[in-house]
Amino acid sequence: MTSVGAVTRQIAALEISNKKPATASSSTTTRPGHTKQSSQSNVSKLLTKFAAPNPFPNQPSTKPTQPSSLRNPAQTSRQPSPTNATQQTIDIGSYDGGLEIDNEKRGERVYGEAAEELALDSSVSRRSPTREWHLNDFDMGRPLGKGKFGRVYMVRTKSEPKYILALKTLYKSEIVQSKVEKQIRREIEIQQNLRHPNVLRLYGYFHDEKRIFLMLEFAGKGELYKQLSKHGCFTEKRSSRYIDQMADALMYLHGKHVIHRDIKPENLLLGINGELKIGDFGWSVHAPGNRRMTLCGTLDYLPPEMVEGKEHTEKVDYWALGVLTYEFMIGNPPFEDRNSVNNTYRRIAKVDLKFPSHISTDAKDLISKLLQYDPQKRLALSEVLRHPWIVKYRQKGVVRESAT
């Protein structure tokens, strides 16, 4: 086995971006060509064992060894502490004191209705209560990034078996100033009830006078957008495998009456084994009636019905999946016009779709069937999972129930 010192050095070397990428429509940087990504299998194996457990024991890559101590202890029997000492030597990096520095300089207490709406604590959740959590329950590690409302840190629970998580901070007063209290609450309520291997897990949340803290699954290989920017584009094989995972995750979300509405590379993360994770539910909506009117999302990924101000359904996510497939292989969205926002709108409305010559016939077929003007004509996600281009590159041993 790899030495502890070597493992900690490799984990410390994991590239997690701390910069918010520019959107494709505003960037003028040309992405470099595709190069092979180095392997980090030893690090992945260790992090698989000591990251917070995946709730899907039938997934071979992330089988947990015991029930999660993140749940309410009243709901699970007490488990013996693990004896493997390696977990305590996994390096979560050095804490920079950023939370204390931030707390001195930013944010204010909120009062009244806003304070009640943002008093979010998963220990009193009606559906899936957790144990009660506080900031001092964690060993703080290195910063993973900065969001609009606060920082994200790599942390480890002090209680056994010392799970590794990403802790995201949100300042209440900044949420109120941006008038997104309901959106934040909705995002948390949606994400806490999702259980899918390609959806970033929200394990719990708690708050203090000024902040909300989200306990998120640690995505060990960071932002997918960073990989796409690094390589310029992905191979068809890699693209196909990502879209396979995306289609399966979107089928799950739609089965829960959740429309994502903002699928794009910037909102996707990569897990410790390179698996794709949908990681941002800021524009998601729980819509049992499946018909919405709000214009939201990112311009390059908007479908014709949103551009034209019409009602939309979960099939906006079908369109976004087609745009994502195209961007993975070409390196930019299909309708992007960097000189004119209006031209981008017009190209979307006309479905002005053009393919480079190197794209395979099967890939073109899948993209064309997803990027249909009429939402009812877009290829169903169950059919995406059966499409020849997806089946051709699917990893051995992976079984999609919807594809059988």
Known binding residues for ATP:
148, 168, 217-219, 266-267, 280
In what helix (H) or strand (E) does residue 68 lie, and over which residues does it extend?
Answer: none
Contacts of 69 (CB under 8 A, 6+ apart): 79, 131, 157, 159, 160, 161, 163
Q: How far is CA 66 from the centre of its chain?
A: 25
Other beta carbons within 10 Å of 350: 11
Which tokens is 72 given?
């309410």
> In this structure, are strands 202-207 and 164-171 parallel, antiparallel, or unpaired?
unpaired
Long-range contacts of residues 303-309, Cβ cutoff 8 Å, at least 24 apart? 303/348, 303/375, 304/348, 304/349, 304/351, 304/373, 305/375, 307/345, 307/348, 307/349, 308/349
Other beta carbons within 10 Å of 372: 18
Helix, strand, coil percent content, the chain, rounded in steps of 5:
40, 15, 45
In what helix (H) or strand (E) does residue 46 lie, and over which residues does it extend?
Answer: helix 41-50
Which of 262, 300, 337, 365 is the catalytic position? 262
Active site residue 262: yes
d(Cα 151, Cα 171) in Å, to the nearest integer? 10
d(Cα 355, Cα 368) in Å, to the nearest integer? 10
For 115, 224, 345, 352, 375, the CA distances from 372, given in Å and listed in that order, are 44, 26, 15, 11, 7
For 165, 184, 356, the CA distances from 202, given in Å and listed in that order, are 10, 13, 39
Yes or no: say if 283 and 332 are a contact pair by the CB < 8 Å rule: no
Q: Known binding site: residues?
A: 148, 168, 217-219, 266-267, 280
Yes or no: say if 215 and 202 are a contact pair by the CB < 8 Å rule: yes
Residues labelled as active-site residues? 262
